[in-house]
Amino acid sequence: MADDPFALFDTWYAEAKAAEVNDPDAMALATSDLLNEPSVRMVLLKGHGPDGFVFYTNEQSRKAREMSETGTAALLFHWKSLRRQVRIEGFVERVYSDEADSYFSTRSRDSQLGAWASDQSSPLESREHFEHRFDEIKAQFEGRDVPRPPHWGGFRVVPNTIEFWSDRPHRLHERRQFFLTQGGWDERLLYP
């Protein structure tokens, strides 16, 4: 048994990057609002380590609002080709501005412009309206660098529970759950 869930995640993640045809970085992000109404969507992992799992988004989106309200979230990686899953639960914190700036600068120019043009999760009157807005933003930043919008940033899910699920024949799956205690990480097996 490994005693470091982050080392085990690094191993599994490296194997997923080698084996998964599409988006080994894709993870389901589950949030809820103050009325406990759940919501889930796919986001992309952009950084990870013992301090948590990082992704970026519009801070005015539904997911960002819900994480800000509750301070919690859950993640799920499903690597079908490896027949594995990793579940992560914990609290949420914003990444530092310089970290968000650094990542934003690596995005394609059109993705940077899209971050300015989109009022993510808000009602949209028509696709044409959004495309027109994108063209206006593109003209506005013509010939110069696109700065990170003030409403766009990163979130880090800091885990208190990490579960590693491995498929086994006859639904006799293996589930290894790491949970945070005052003394560090403990591990237990769960029935499938």
Residue 192 near residue 171, CB atoms below 8 Å: yes
Residue 112 near residue 78, CB atoms below 8 Å: no
Residue 102 near residue 154, CB atoms below 8 Å: no
**Catalytic residue, candidates 133, 148, 171, 176:** 171
Please list, residue by residue across 127-139, b when 16 or more beta carbons sit within 10 angstroms of its beta carbon and e when fewer do.
eeeeeebbeebbe
42, burial (CB in 10 Å: exposed 0-12, middle 13-18, buried 19+): exposed
Q: Is 83 a catalytic residue?
A: no
Amino acid at 31: T
> Look-up: residue for tokens 């097996």?
189
170: left (phi over 0), alpha (psi -120 to 50) or beta: left
Catalytic residue IDs: 171
